[in-house]
Structure 1
């Protein structure tokens, strides 16, 4: 019998792992920043892996991109100027540009090779890259934000890798202060904030850093992502004093969404009490 091939991601720290049945490796390279791999799977389409961590599959990436992007764009009363930090696969950019009121969408990712690889192996994600409202910059997002004038954006989306190594700076108070400065009076910041089950302490730290940076309103909300750690993911949205974290128009429909609806988002918001209970759900290795 032919050998069965699996891509496995395992975490000793959390005691969690996932495996996807693969048929072959389609691409591998070491960019200036990270190792990029693409695999063909039997049931989840093509799989993108960065430095050994699953970033997305063709089958389930909508769960992440829809829930990261649409809540802040619909909570803001007039989200016209959008900045994406990270997001080199361009899935978030695609969702942003579904909104007709968006006038400019700037994506700043440090690694151009991720985008070029996705153009070859994930064509559905890059369909909006040629939209006249889109600008793709390949640069350090932290340096970029430090130089933009105040009140430059209505929404900032941080579509980043996990908070390990160099990625930690995108979760620091100093970075959130730069975001606060760059946002307008009703501006909103949203960041991916890992698994509520496995990383509840990290979510608490993110929220504390956002508050220290000046944001006075916070919403953490959860949603499924089948191939991410625990299968349960979250994002945390931060607003200024005049911001709204609720979607006023519950009847709005976004083109070709699978999981996101305004009602689904509102039902996924994690209260302080629920976050506290999640932090208390800790188990010692047996």
Structure 2
């Protein structure tokens, strides 16, 4: 009698052990790097060493207590200018107090000095407490050098400024001409928006405003952009009485950057 075959279990090989990949954590935030820093330290009455006076204007001088006094009819420009790779994030910041008059207007702004393609970012500018706008921020795409012809030539060319009044965002007694605030403008080289912010020394924010998308409002990497601090007179017919301090005082100015990476 034939015997039934004995069933045998198949020979199996255990699969190789595969270590599971660790779950990636959150990406480390990009770190701001200082590109330009000025705390305006130095003897009273001396010019700021990292700036030069614009032709036809008064100089701004140190007050001996770590501030820069930008007096009436003063305008200076950063000696350094910067051409940065496309995709670089830029943060321009300043701590300052504006004049408490309404006879002049003071500003810190970013200039992209290409005559064929001028771009300007007003980090903050002030016309004083008695002006309807008071303080504002924004940008210009055009400079109308024709005076007193009652024609908005930049607007007619479709290059009008984009401006926001912001004095209403500050509490009474803490307006831009009453106390120091930290003002910021952030943009990406080759981008199309600017983020404007203001905060006090404790980080309490007064406003956060983002411009409408328009690549013409952001410096490119074709020419160097500079910083300017200025304090101009308004036209006599627009000057208003009041106030006693016509100077803008600047505590510090910085330019910080986040360079693009291969994976960003």
Q: Does TM, normalized by the shorter one, top 0.5?
A: no
When normalised by structure 1's length, the TM-score is 0.27
Higher relative contact order (CA 8 A, sep 6+): 2
Larger Rg: 2
